[in-house]
Amino acid sequence: DTAVSQTPKYLVTQMGNDKSIKCEQNLGHDTMYWYKQDSKKFLKIMFSYNNKELIINETVPNRFSPKSPDKAHLNLHINSLELGDSAVYFCASSQELLGYTFGSGTRLTVV
Amino acid sequence: QKEVEQNSGPLSVPEGAIASLNCTYSDRGSQSFFWYRQYSGKSPELIMFIYSNGDKEDGRFTAQLNKASQYVSLLIRDSQPSDSATYLCAVGTGGFKTIFGAGTRLFVKA
């Protein structure tokens, strides 16, 4: 039973397209996150929601828009994809300060 | 800007040796400290967390925290080839924000 599940696992798309990544957690955690891991493996936070409320919104192009319909789901929509958006996007969840549980990641390739 | 620094490695140790991974952080107000392991092509998984100065042991892993020196380390005893991975240090800087270091690649030679 997967704790944090992301779909799709791989996403190959052309520049200019719009795409979405979905994330669901069944751990009962209150907080969910989107992280971007670039080619140098550096993990950088993008957004965080706590009980459906946006609490972290880092300097990310406004082409990226998160949505949390309930505390178990956090989706990421990306408009007008660019080559530089190619990366691995990780969803994660946490409860208080007990560390993150990550999803398996979505490898986005923009061509 | 709040930062977490790690030596990128690779750190190479023989099987059975102790691997020592180090991390420094810039924000003195940081309250929580984590070590994650990431195998190539996989997601990070939490190994340990530590909040107080001193050592915390879990099996072959020991996390060490020194807030005065803004330093956190991870020791892996009796290193195994299966420990070969990238180890990410992460620091909770308050609220819900956690900053990750760039990771140290560890190779354990059989």
Q: Residue A109: is its pLDDT beyond 80?
A: yes
Across residues A45-66, what is the average pLDDT?
Answer: 90
Across residues A10-38, what is the average pLDDT?
Answer: 96
pLDDT at A81: 97
A102: tokens are: 């990550």
Contact B100 A98 (CB under 8 A): no
Instruction: Name which of A27, A43, A91, A93 to mutate to probe chain B: the one with the most chain B Cβ atoms within 10 A of its Cβ.
Output: A43
Contact A41 B42 (CB under 8 A): no
Which helix (H) or strand (E) segment holds residue A35: the answer is strand A31-37
Across residues B19-24, what is the average pLDDT?
Answer: 97
pLDDT at A80: 97
pLDDT at A96: 78
* pLDDT tens track for A85-106: 999 999 999 987 789 999 999 9
Strands A64-70 and A73-78: antiparallel
Amino acid making up residue B1: Q
Query: Which residues does A contribute to its contact with B (CB < 8 Å)?
Result: 31, 33, 35, 40-45, 48, 50, 55-56, 90, 94, 97-105
Q: Residue A12: is its pLDDT beyond 80?
A: yes
Residues B80 and B61: beta-carbon distance below 8 Å: no
Contact A31 B88 (CB under 8 A): no
| Percent of residues, chain B, with pLDDT higher than 90 | 87
Q: Which residues of B touch A100 (CB under 8 A)?
A: 34, 36, 44, 46, 90, 98
Nearest to A105 by CA among A67, A82, A76, A65: A76
| Percent of residues, chain A, with pLDDT higher than 90 | 80
pLDDT at B1: 67
Burial of B41 (0-12, 13-18, 19+ CB in 10 A): exposed
pLDDT at B21: 97
Q: Residue A1: is its pLDDT beyond 90?
A: no
Contact A90 B43 (CB under 8 A): yes
Query: Which residues does B contribute to its contact with A (CB < 8 Å)?
Result: 31-32, 34, 36, 38, 42-46, 49, 51, 86, 88, 90, 92, 95-100, 102-103
How far does the CA of residue A17 sit from the closest CA of chain B (Å)? 25
Q: Which residues pair with B74 in a beta bridge?
A: B21, B63
* A&B contacts, CB < 8 Å: 55
- Average predicted confidence (pLDDT) for chain A: 93
Q: Residue B9: is its pLDDT beyond 90?
A: no
pLDDT confidence band for A41 (50 / 70 / 90): confident
DSSP code for B96: T
* pLDDT tens track for B22-74: 999 999 999 999 999 999 999 999 999 999 999 999 999 999 999 999 999 99
Q: Residue B109: is its pLDDT beyond 80?
A: yes
Helix %, strand %, coil % of chain A (to 5)? 5, 60, 40
Nearest to B23 by CA among B86, B75, B68, B71: B71
